[in-house]
């Protein structure tokens, strides 16, 4: 077999410039292992927000990501208008934010007892109720349960100052990496989160779900909301990756950073 011709100097120089360097091994990242252990000792788990890009968000105005696309708040990865997830739990929260600074004024990690301004029992708080704005401009207090509420053409449903939230920690199975993330339902699409809860309650526990962004339009504008449907069974390979994370989730203090709205929320006790 003939010997390969030696590389000339130009080819060798081109390879040195163009070939990618070897990936840095995890144990070479200084302090990473210690920080991981610290997080485990504190029982903390910080999840990125699986958000839908809206027309007023910086994802569109700054980064040119089209409205209706799902995006990971940590990696910036864009998944398109549908994403596959495996739900690992459900957190029921309430948050009241300052309108201008978006700082948390009052927080409840069980949707029962609030801490802050005004604090106290959520069921007795006037800031936790919904209203319907009638065609004549009058506001009707309809309480906290909007599951069966229907508005007429010239009426508007007004969300509470204190936002009820259904937060689903999930494993995101779409995209380049399988990583955890939080799917949050609140405000006018709170009912879809409630529907997702009932799907989980009465479905086999090993199902993967598809979340699609659906366009909604009224006289106030156009926006996108998440819509969930059952998709397929979890594979054994996926289960092997998810089970350890799911077990850790049960004993962790979960924090979710909602980057798009400038919110940072957590379930710290």
All structural domains of the chain with their residue ranges: 47-113+163-266
263, pLDDT greater than 70: no
**What are the phi and psi torsion angles at 36 (to 5°)?**
-60, -40
Distance CA 126, CA 92 (A): 19
Cβ-in-10-Å burial (0-12, 13-18, 19+) of 154 comes to exposed
Residue-level pLDDT at 234:
93
Beta strand 44-47 with 253-258 is parallel
Enter the DSSP assignment of 66.
P
Q: Of 50-64, 104-118, 148-162, which gets the smallest average pLDDT?
A: 148-162
11, pLDDT greater than 80: no
Q: How many CB atoms lie within 10 A of CB 182?
A: 25
Q: Is the peptide bond before 127 cis (omega within 30 degrees of 0)?
A: no
Instruction: Give the model confidence (pLDDT) of 181-203 as tens digits.
Output: 999 988 778 888 889 999 999 98
Instruction: Give the model confidence (pLDDT) of 207-231 as tens digits.
Output: 999 999 999 887 677 889 999 999 9
Residue 95 binned pLDDT confidence (cut-offs 50, 70, 90): confident
For residue 154, what are its two tokens?
Answer: 């010239």
User: Which parts of 27-131 fold into alpha helices (H)?
Assistant: 32-41, 58-61
């Amino acid at each position: 077999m003939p010997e390969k011709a030696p590389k000339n100097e130009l080819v060798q120089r081109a390879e040195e410039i163009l070939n990618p360097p070897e990936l840095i091994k995890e144990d070479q990242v200084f302090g990473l292992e210690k920080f991981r252990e610290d997080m485990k000792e504190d029982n903390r788990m910080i999840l990125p927000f699986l958000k839908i890009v809206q027309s007023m968000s910086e994802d569109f105005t700054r980064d040119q990501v089209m409205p209706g696309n799902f995006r990971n708040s940590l990696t910036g990865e864009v998944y398109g208008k549908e994403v596959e997830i495996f739900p690992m739990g459900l957190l029921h929260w309430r948050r009241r934010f300052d309108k201008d600074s978006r700082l948390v004024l009052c927080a409840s990690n069980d949707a029962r007892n609030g801490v802050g301004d005004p604090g106290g029992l959520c069921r007795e708080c006037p800031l936790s109720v919904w209203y319907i704005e009638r065609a004549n401009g009058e506001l009707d207090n309809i309480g906290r349960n909007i599951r069966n509420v229907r508005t007429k053409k010239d009426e508007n449903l007004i969300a509470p100052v204190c936002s009820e939230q259904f937060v689903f920690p999930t494993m995101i199975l779409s995209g380049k990496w399988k990583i955890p993330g939080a799917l949050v339902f609140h405000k006018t699409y709170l009912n879809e989160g409630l529907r997702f809860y009932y799907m989980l309650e009465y479905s086999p526990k090993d199902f993967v779900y598809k979340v699609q962004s659906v366009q909604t339009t009224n006289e106030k504008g156009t926006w996108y909301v998440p819509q969930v449907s059952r998709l397929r069974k979890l594979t054994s390979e996926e289960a092997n990756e998810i089970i350890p994370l799911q077990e850790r989730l049960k004993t962790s203090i979960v924090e979710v950073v909602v980057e798009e709205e400038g919110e940072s929320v957590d379930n710290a006790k």
